[in-house]
Amino acid sequence: MDQTPNIAANRLPPDMLARNFSDAHPPLTAGQATIESDRCYFCYDAPCIEACPTGIDIPGFIKKISTGNIPGSARTILESNIFGGACARVCPTEILCEGKCVRNTQEDRPIQIGALQRHATDWQMRTGKQPFSRAPLTGKRIAVVGAGPAGLACAHRLAMQGHDVVVFDARARAGGLNEYGIAAYKLADEFAQKEVAFVLSIGGITIETGMLLGRDMTLTSLRADYDAVFLGIGHAGVRALGIAGEYFPGVHNAVEFIEELRTSPTKSDVAVGRRVVVIGGGNTAIDAAVQAKRLGAEEVTLVYRRAAENMSATTVEQEWAQTNDVTIRYWSAPVRIDGTEHGVASVTFARGLAKDGRAVYDQGNYTLEADMVLKAVGQLFLPDPLAEDDIVIEAGRIRVDAEGRTSMKGVYAGGDCTAGEDLTVAAVRDGRNAAEAITAALMKAGN
Amino acid sequence: MADLSINFAGIRSPNPFWLASAPPTDKEYNVRRALEAGWGGVVWKTLGEDPPVVNVSSRYGATRYNGQRMAGLNNIELITDRPLAVNLAEIKAVKKDYPDRAIIVSIMVPCVEESWKRILPLVEATGADGIELNFGCPHGMSERNMGSAVGQVPEYVEMVTRWCKQYTRMPVIVKLTPNITNILNPARAALRGGADAVSLINTIQSVVGVDLDAMAPMPVVDGRGTHGGYCGPAVKPIALRMLGEIARTPDTSVLPISGIGGISNWRDVAEFLVMGATSLQVCTAAMHYGFRIVEDMIDGLSNWMDEKGFETIADVTGRAVPNFVNWNQLNLKFRTLAAIDQEACIKCGLCHIACEDTSHQAISKTLLNGERHYEVIDEECVGCNLCAHVCPVDDCITMVPQPVEGVQTWNEHPNNPMRKIPAKAG
Ligand SMILES: Cc1cc2nc3c(=O)[nH]c(=O)nc-3n(C[C@H](O)[C@H](O)[C@H](O)COP(=O)(O)OP(=O)(O)OC[C@H]3O[C@@H](n4cnc5c(N)ncnc54)[C@H](O)[C@@H]3O)c2cc1C
Ligand SMILES: Cc1cc2nc3c(=O)[nH]c(=O)nc-3n(C[C@H](O)[C@H](O)[C@H](O)COP(=O)(O)O)c2cc1C
Ligand code: SF4
Ligand code: SF4
Ligand code: SF4
C-alpha cells in the first residue's frame, strides 16, 4: 500500500493492537451457558430452526447444554453445519435464529443462540477431534474449486459419505473469506485456520492451493478427471464507484484493506490513514471502518447513500460501528474524490433525501477531508475463470437449481458465486446440500 | 391492617410464622437473629438425651430443576448434637429476652416413660411455651426406635402423648410423619393421647439423587450414602393434602394445626392457612435465603388479608376446607375449555405438542398469513389444563368455565355400578 505521512502503520503500541483485534465477544462461561440454556423453552417446530439457513436443531442442542450433554450438543450442531464454530461467531443472528426466537415477543431478549452454539462447538474443538467418520469408501473422486465455507462444507460432507475429494484454491491458504475477509475480532486467535484443520480431520480431502481455475485448470478438464465438480469460488470482483478521482493513491477497495489486515499476524505493519472515509452500507463497510479505527485512525466516517434502515448492515452492526467511535453519515452520494499524485485529499458528497419513494441528491454538496478512502459498495462475481466453459451465468452469478446443479452436467455450485444471501452460513448450507445431491446422483447412477 | 397474632393451643405469637425445628433453630445465636428478623416464634431443634448424637459430614442433597436451586432438599442430619444442658440454658436465655415470642421445644427421647418423665420438667424450667414431639425424623433416629419409628405406630404416638400430658402443663404439639399410608391414624392417636395440637409434615423418606462417579446415593459420605428426609418446595403438595385431610375429617378437625412443608412465601402461607393451619413452620426456605424472608411473608399475608377483608388469622384458617372433597363429590357436568389469548401467544408450539402427543389433539397448528398459529378445537378439548400449565406466558391460556346445567356426581352417574338408586317410595 502507498505510504504518505498521513497513511502509516504502527499508529498504536503492539499491546493495544493485540487487544483491539482479540475476540470482540468473549465466550460464555460454563455457568452463563447453563443459565442461558435453561431460558430456552424447547419450542416445538421452533421458529429459530426455520430461521437458521443450515436448519440446526437449536432447541435440541440447547437442551443438551442444559443437561450437561455437551458432546451431544456439539454433534447436533455440527451434523447440520460443520462450520458451526465460525457461524456462532460471524452469523448476524439478529436477523437469523435469534431474530425469530419467541423470547423476543415475550421479553425482547432472545436466547443467545450464537453464544451457546459457540460454547458447545468450542468444547468439541478443544477435544481436537471431530465427531464424524467416513462411510465405506465409494471410489468416487470429486473436485471442489474454492476452499471457502461453501467448498469445504461440500468437501466435508462428500468425504463423510465415502468419496475422495480434491479442493483447489487460488490462494495460499484455505478458508476463503473466513481467512481473509471476516473482521479479525470475530474470528480471533487463528480460529479460521484451526477450523479448517478441524474440518479436514475427517480425512479423504486433499487441498491444492495456488491453483486458479481458468489458468491452471478448466471446468472441462475437471469434468473429465472427476466424477463431479463443485464450484464455491465466491466473488472476486469489487464494484467501482464510477466517479472522478477513484484512482488517487490512498483510495482502496475495503476488501483489500481487510485482506491485508487479516493476513498480518500482528497488525503492526498495516497502514491506515489519519482521517478515513469509508463509502458503502454493508457489513464490509462496517468492518473496514471499525478495523480502521482499531488500527489507530483518528477519525473514521462511514458514508452511506440512503437511510439507516436501507443499509444492508444490520442495526446491531451499525451500533457496533458507533460504539467503536465511527461516525455514520446517511443520505450522501459520493460525487468526486480530490487529491494529487501524492494522495487523496478529500471526498465530496451530494446530500439527498427521499422524494416519492426515490432517492434524490439535490440538497447541496459537502466535502470531507480524507487521507484514506475505502470503497465498499459491493462485491461482484467475475465469471472470467469460467469464460472458456459453457456454463449459464444469470444476473451476474452462476445459475443453479434448488439442488445446486448448474447448467453443466455433473457441475454444482454454491455460496457467494450463486444467487442468494452472501453469508457464511448460507454458503455452508449450499455446499452441504450440493454434496447430498452429488451423492444421490452418483449412487443413483449406480456406477 | 390485618391482625396477624395467634393463639395456638394456648401458645401466643405475634405472627403465625415460626421456624421449624431444624438447623435454623439449633442454637441461641441463630434463634436470636431469627427473632430480630421478625419471626413470631421458633421450634427449637429437637433435644435428646445425653450423650448427644454425632452428625456426619456432608449432610444435604438437593434437587435442582431447570436452574432452580433447592426445589427440594434432603438431609441426613439427626437431632441436636449438643449437650442437653447447653440447649436448655440457651432456651431459657432467649425466652427471657423475648417474652412475647413463641418458644417451643422439640423433643425426642427413647420410647420409655422414664425418659420423658425426666426431660419434661427440665424443659418446662426454661420457661418455654410448649413442646413438640418429634415422631417424624425418617432416618438415623428411627433406626434407634425413635422418630418416625414411633410416629408410624399409632399406639406409641398415643402412649407418648399421654405421658407428656401427664408430666407437663405445657401445651403438647405432636409432629406427624408423612411416611405412612393414612395420616388420620397418627392424628387420631395424638388426639386420644390428649394432644393440644398437631404439626405436619416432617420430612419424607428419600434418596435425592445418585452420584454417578461415586456410584452412591447423595450426599456421599466417604463413598457411601443413605436415605434421608425430603423437604422444601417439592413437598408442599403432599403437606397440603395431609393437612387438609386432618382439617376436613370431623373428629380430627378439632386439632389446631401447625402447617409445615415447603412454605417459602406468603402465598404458600395463605394456602396452608385456608387448608386448615393456624401457625406455619418454615425450614428450607430460611436455609436457602436466610431469615429475612419473613418480611415478605408478614406484609404479603397482611396485604392479601386486607384485600380480602379478613381481619384475623382465625378468619382465614380453614376457608377452603369445605371445598376440599372426595373425587366422587365433584360435578361431572362441569366443563372448562382452554382459550388462547392470541395477542399474548409467542408461538412456541408447546401447547400444541403437549396436547397432540399426550392429550386430546385439541390444539391445531396452522399458518395464518404466514405466521404460525395455534387454536383450541373446542369439540376436542376436555378441559384438562395441560396446555395452560405448559404455556410459558402467564395468563396466555385460560380455562374458561362453560355454563353448567345441574349437578351430577359419580355417586349418581349411570356408569357407576355402585350408584345409589334413590329408594322408591312405597
Ligand atoms: C469483509 C467481509 C465481511 C464479511 N462478514 C461476514 C459476517 O460477519 N458474517 C457472515 O455471515 N458473512 C460475512 N461475509 C460474507 C461471507 O464471508 C461469505 O458469504 C462467505 O465467505 C461465502 O463463502 P464462499 O465459500 O461462497 O466464498 P469465499 O469465502 O469467498 O471463498 C471462495 C474461495 O474460492 C477461491 N477462488 C475464487 N476464485 C477462484 C478460482 N478462479 N480458482 C480457484 N479458487 C478460486 C478463493 O480464493 C476463496 O478461497 C463477509 C464478507 C466480506 C467480504
Ligand atoms: C437439615 C434438617 C434437619 C432437620 N431436623 C429436624 C429435627 O431435628 N426435628 C424435627 O422435628 N424436624 C427436623 N427437620 C424437619 C423440618 O423441621 C421440617 O419439618 C421440614 O424440613 C419441612 O419443612 P420445609 O419444607 O419448610 O423445610 C429437619 C429438616 C432439615 C432440612
Ligand atoms: S425460539 Fe428461542 S426459546 Fe424457542 S427453541 Fe428457539 S431458542 Fe429456544
Ligand atoms: S454451608 Fe458450606 S461452608 Fe457452611 S458448613 Fe456447610 S458445607 Fe461448610
Ligand atoms: S404454549 Fe402458549 S405461547 Fe406457546 S403456542 Fe401455545 S398458547 Fe402460544
pLDDT at position B306 over 60 = yes
Chain B residues near residue A40 by CB distance under 8 angstroms: none
Q: Are residues B133 and B171 in the same domain?
A: yes
Cα separation, A335 vs A346, in Å, equals: 11
Residues making up chain B, counted from first to last: 426
Residue B368's φ and ψ, nearest 5 degrees, are: -120, 115
Domain end position, chosen among B272, B302, B323: B323
Q: Is position B414 within any domain?
A: no
Cβ count within 10 A of residue A53: 22
Ligand 3 centroid to B380 CA: how many Å?
Answer: 28
State what percent of residues in chain B have pLDDT above 90: 91
Q: Report whether pLDDT(B361) > 90.
A: yes
Whose Cα sits closest to atom 1 in ligand 3?
A: A101
The answer to whether residues A438 and A138 touch, using CB atoms and an 8 Å cutoff, is: no
B386 inside domain:
yes
Q: Is residue B406 part of a domain?
A: no
Instruction: Please state the atom number of ligand 1 nearest to the C-alpha of residue A422.
Output: 19
Contact A47 B66 (CB under 8 A): no
Helices and strands: H and E segment counts in chain A: 17, 21
Alpha helices per DSSP H over B309-368: 313-316, 350-358
- Do B198 and B85 lie in a common domain? yes
Shared-domain flag, residues B266 and B375: no
Alpha helices in A81-112 (DSSP H): 84-90, 97-100, 102-107
Does any ligand 2 atom lie closer than 6 A to the CB of residue B388? Answer: no
pLDDT at res. B143? 64
Give me the catalytic one of B137, B164, B283, B387: B137
Secondary element (H or E) of residue B268: helix B266-274
pLDDT at position A140: 97
Give the tens place of pLDDT for each residue, B235-271: 999 999 999 999 999 999 999 999 999 999 999 999 9
Tell me, what's the pLDDT at A1? 45
CB of B128 closer than 8 Å to CB of B104: yes
Active site residue B384: no
* pLDDT band of B426, cuts 50, 70, 90: very low
Note whether A42 contacts B: Cβ–Cβ < 8 A.
Answer: yes
In a domain, B35, yes or no: yes
pLDDT of residue A363: 93
What confidence tens digit (pLDDT) does each residue in B51-91 have?
999 999 999 999 988 778 999 999 999 999 999 999 999 99
Evaluate if residue B425 carries a pLDDT over 80: no
Q: Are residues B292 and B375 in the same domain?
A: no
Is B421 domain-assigned? Answer: no
Domain end position, chosen among B323, B358, B385: B323
Claim to verify: residue B237 and residue B297 sit in the same structural domain: yes
pLDDT of A235 reads 87
User: Looking at the structure, do residues B351 and B256 belong to the same domain, yes or no?
Assistant: no
Can you give the pLDDT at residue A236? 75
| The one-letter amino acid at A222 | L
Min CA distance, A106 vs chain B (Å)? 6
Q: Do residues B157 and B273 both lie within one domain?
A: yes
**ipTM of the complex as predicted:** 0.77
Domain's final residue, options B323, B349, B365: B323
**Residue B371 in domain:** yes
Residue A396: Cβ within 10 Å count:
13
Residue of B nearest to A65 (CA): B66
**pLDDT tens for each residue of A339-379:** 998 899 999 999 999 998 899 999 999 999 999 999 998 87
DSSP helix/strand/coil, B217: strand
Cβ proximity of A248 and A343 under 8 Å: yes
**Which amino acid does the sequence have at B173?**
I
Distance (Å, rounded) from C-alpha A60 to C-alpha B236? 32
**Digits of tens for pLDDT over chain A (447 positions)?**
444 568 888 899 999 999 999 998 999 999 999 999 999 999 999 999 999 999 999 999 999 999 899 999 999 999 999 999 999 999 999 999 999 999 999 888 999 999 999 999 999 999 999 999 999 999 999 999 999 999 999 999 999 999 999 999 999 999 999 999 999 999 999 999 999 999 999 999 999 999 999 889 999 999 999 999 999 999 877 777 888 888 899 999 999 999 999 999 899 999 999 999 999 999 999 999 999 999 999 999 999 999 999 999 999 999 999 999 999 999 999 999 999 988 999 999 999 999 988 999 999 999 999 999 999 988 777 777 887 778 899 888 999 999 999 999 999 999 999 999 999 999 999 999 999 999 999 988 765
- Enumerate residues lining ligand 1, CB below 6 A: A 90-91, 145-151, 168-171, 176-177, 181-182, 186, 212-214, 232-234, 236, 255, 258, 283-284, 287, 385, 415-416, 422-425, 427
Please tell me the distance between residue B66's alpha carbon and the centre of ligand 5 in angstroms.
19
Q: Which residue bears the cell 477450523? A: A195
- Over chain B, what is the mean pLDDT? 94
**Cα–Cα nearest to A428, from A154, A218, A29:** A154
Do B225 and B362 lie in one domain? The reply is no
B389 lines ligand 5 (CB under 6 A): no
Ligand 2 pocket residue status of B24, Cβ below 6 Å: no
B2 neighbors B302 (Cβ within 8 angstroms): yes
Residue with cell 479448517: A196
Is residue B268 domain-shared with residue B229, that is, in the same domain?
yes
Q: How many CA atoms lie within 13 A of A428 on its CB side?
A: 27
Res. B364 pLDDT band, cuts 50 70 90: very high
Considering the domain architecture, whether residues B45 and B179 belong to the same structural domain is answered as: yes
3-class SS of residue B301: helix
To 10 degrees, the CA torsion angle through B184, B188, B191, B196? -10
Distance of CA B367 from the midpoint of ligand 5 (Å): 14
The distance in angstroms from the start CA to the end CA of chain B is 60
Domains belonging to chain A, first-starting first, are: 7-18+238-379 (3.50.50.60), 40-127 (1.10.1060.10), 141-236+381-444 (3.50.50.60)
Cell of A259: 485482506
pLDDT digits over B151-177, tens only?
Answer: 889 999 999 999 999 999 999 999 999
Which residues form the domain of B71?
6-323
- Asked if A103 reaches chain B (Cβ–Cβ under 8 Å), the answer is yes
Substitution site in A182, A255, A412 for ligand 1 pocket (most atoms within 8 Å of beta carbon): A182
CATH code (residue B11): 3.20.20.70
Same domain, B118 and B243: yes
With respect to residue B412, please indicate whether it lies within any of the assigned structural domains.
Answer: no
Q: Which of A106, A107, A108, A109 to mutate to test the interface with B (most CBs of B within 10 A)?
A: A106
Specify the number of domains making up chain B: 2
Is the same domain home to B312 and B389?
Answer: no
Question: Which of A42, A44, A103 has the highest number of chain B CBs within 10 A, making it the mutation to test binding with B?
Answer: A44
Is the residue at B1 inside a domain?
no
DSSP H or E segment with residue A286:
helix A283-295
How many other β-carbons are positioned within 10 Å of the β-carbon of residue A355? 9
